[in-house]
């Protein structure tokens, strides 16, 4: 998961070229005086940029995804959570456009990192529903079948050529106010890609390349 540790630096580099925007107070402003005094450098800025809840963007093998977090609670899922007596959760939604993609997308997981180093994980709605046990002998057969129906609505992924909406569930009451990194696992527990604020989507390729270069760089003496 080294990519998540480098995302803050990549985001800072991206912000230097897009003005004040809406990235939050943690952004590092671009220099405006005596530009010749500071030679250009490809090194990441020293201070991390922090971003908060909102719209995020990622790419994966031709597919694109737009994440909204947190999002409004899903009424059907909330009904099942209440029946199961599960704890409070936080929701995120993802719109995946796989019309130019080459892989089946199932939105396995989203991980968000706080400035304090905490990790907040969202899983697919079907995974959350599967973990919420409901005893048909207690709630009745109709209620149990209701869970099955809701579960079945959330097991489909996005094939190539398809556009699909996903609901993600985090087993925590709320997100931190600031994020320093976000990773997405679009197809399972192996491939991981970065997610960046929506306003930086045009710089996604360059920011991903910057992170890859840092990962490949030899250790410093």
Q: Could you report the per-residue pLDDT of 93-117, keeping only the tens digit for each?
A: 999 999 999 999 999 999 999 999 9
Q: Would you state the pLDDT for residue 189?
A: 79
Whether 17 shows a pLDDT value over 60: the answer reads no
Phi, psi of 80 (to 5 degrees): -70, -40
Q: Would you state the pLDDT for residue 20?
A: 39
Whether 18 shows a pLDDT value over 60: the answer reads no
Q: Alpha-carbon torsion 164, 167, 170, 175, what sign?
A: positive
Whether 130 shows a pLDDT value over 60: the answer reads yes
Please tell me the least confidently modeled range out of 68-82, 98-112, 141-155.
141-155
124 C-beta neighbours (distance < 10 Å), count: 21
**DSSP run (H or E) holding 221:** none
> What whole-number distance in Å separates Cα of residue 79 and Cα of residue 83?
6
Q: pLDDT class for 215, splitting at 50, 70, 90?
A: low
Domains of the chain by residue range: 2-216
Q: Would you state the pLDDT for residue 25?
A: 42
Instruction: Let me know: does 186 contact 109? Beta carbons within 8 Å.
Output: no
Euclidean distance between the first and the last CA atom of the chain, given in angstroms as a whole number: 23
Mean pLDDT of the chain: 81
> What whole-number distance in Å separates Cα of residue 136 and Cα of residue 9?
50
More confident residue, 35 or 153: 153
Whether 6 shows a pLDDT value over 80: the answer reads no
Q: Would you state the pLDDT for residue 205?
A: 87
> What whole-number distance in Å separates Cα of residue 128 and Cα of residue 170?
8
Whether 142 shows a pLDDT value over 70: the answer reads yes
> What whole-number distance in Å separates Cα of residue 84 and Cα of residue 103?
34
Whether 62 shows a pLDDT value over 80: the answer reads yes
- The pTM of this model reads 0.77
| CA-based nearest residue to 205, from 5, 2, 13 | 13
What number of residues does the chain have?
Answer: 221
């Amino acid at each position: 998961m080294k990519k998540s540790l480098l995302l803050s630096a990549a985001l800072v580099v991206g912000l230097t070229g897009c003005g004040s925007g809406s990235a939050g107070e943690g952004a590092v402003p671009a220099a405006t005086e005596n530009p010749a005094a500071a030679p250009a450098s490809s090194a990441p800025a020293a201070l991390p940029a922090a971003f908060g809840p909102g719209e995020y963007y990622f790419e994966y093998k031709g597919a694109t995804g737009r994440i909204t977090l947190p999002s409004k609670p899903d009424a059907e899922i909330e009904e099942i959570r209440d029946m199961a007596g599960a704890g409070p959760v936080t929701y995120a939604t993802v719109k995946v456009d796989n019309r130019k993609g080459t892989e089946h997308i199932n939105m396995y997981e989203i991980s968000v990192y706080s400035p304090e180093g905490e990790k907040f994980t969202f899983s697919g709605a079907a995974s959350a529903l599967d973990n919420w046990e409901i005893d048909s002998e207690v709630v009745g057969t109709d209620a149990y079948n209701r869970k099955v129906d809701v579960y079945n609505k959330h097991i489909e992924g996005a094939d190539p050529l398809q556009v699909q909406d996903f609901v993600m569930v985090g087993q925590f009451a709320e997100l931190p106010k600031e994020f320093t990194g976000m990773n997405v696992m679009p197809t399972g527990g192996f491939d991981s890609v970065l997610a960046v604020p929506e306003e930086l989507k045009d710089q996604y390729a360059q920011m991903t390349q910057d992170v890859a270069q840092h990962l490949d760089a030899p250790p410093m003496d």
